[in-house]
């Protein structure tokens, strides 16, 4: 029953997102970055985190900055492939101007990946 509730909750939030922005292309895991930092998007992410028992964006940012100190350029809550749960993808720019990508397990707060982008 628990998985049905999660699926239903995600479907409801996805439908709300479609209704809010008008297209399915602006879902939370989309590549349309202009919505990722909006107040409305942050509220939707916070609600998902609360309903699914995930850590907050703020907690994910603090964890990511310990792994790669710098300035957060972007954060995104994304579903992991093959039913492995949720992760925060955090992009950070360090003091030398290099970009880092840090993935945080949204349930446990564990660092899944911390790598420097080479471009």
Q: Is 74 helix (H, G, I), strand (E, B) or coil?
A: strand
The answer on pLDDT for 97 being more than 50 is: yes
Size of the chain, expressed as the number of residues it contains: 119
Distance CA 106, CA 60 (A): 7
Q: How many domains does the chain have?
A: 1
* Confidence band for 119, pLDDT divided at 50, 70 and 90: low
Higher pLDDT, 79 or 8: 79
Q: Is 9 helix (H, G, I), strand (E, B) or coil?
A: helix
What CATH code is carried by the domain that includes residue 82?
3.10.450.40
Q: Which domain holds residue 80?
A: 2-116
Distance CA 116, CA 77 (A): 20
pLDDT in tens, 29-75: 334 444 455 788 788 888 888 898 999 999 999 999 999 999 999 99
> CA-CA distances (angstroms) from residue 56 to 15, 35, 51?
22, 18, 11
Q: Please count the other Cβ atoms lying within 10 Å of the Cβ belonging to residue 84.
A: 11
Higher pLDDT, 80 or 105: 105
Q: Is the whole model's pTM more than 0.75, yes or no?
A: no
Looking up tokens 């749960």, which residue turns up?
A: 85
Q: Which of 91, 104, 80 is nearest to 37 (CA)?
A: 91
Percentage of the chain beyond pLDDT 70 is 67
Q: What is the pLDDT of residue 83?
A: 74
Q: Residue 71 forms beta bridges with which residues?
A: 93
């Amino acid at each position: 029953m628990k998985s049905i509730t999660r699926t239903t909750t995600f479907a409801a939030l996805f439908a709300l997102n479609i209704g809010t922005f008008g297209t399915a292309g602006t879902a939370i895991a989309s590549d349309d970055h202009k919505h990722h930092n909006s107040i409305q998007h942050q509220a939707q992410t916070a609600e998902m985190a609360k309903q699914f028992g995930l850590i907050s964006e703020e907690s994910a940012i603090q964890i990511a900055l310990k792994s790669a100190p710098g300035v957060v350029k972007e954060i995104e809550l994304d579903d992991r492939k093959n039913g492995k749960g949720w992760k925060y993808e955090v992009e950070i720019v360090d003091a030398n101007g290099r970009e880092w990508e840090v993935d945080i397990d949204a349930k446990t707060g564990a660092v899944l990946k911390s790598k420097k982008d080479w471009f």
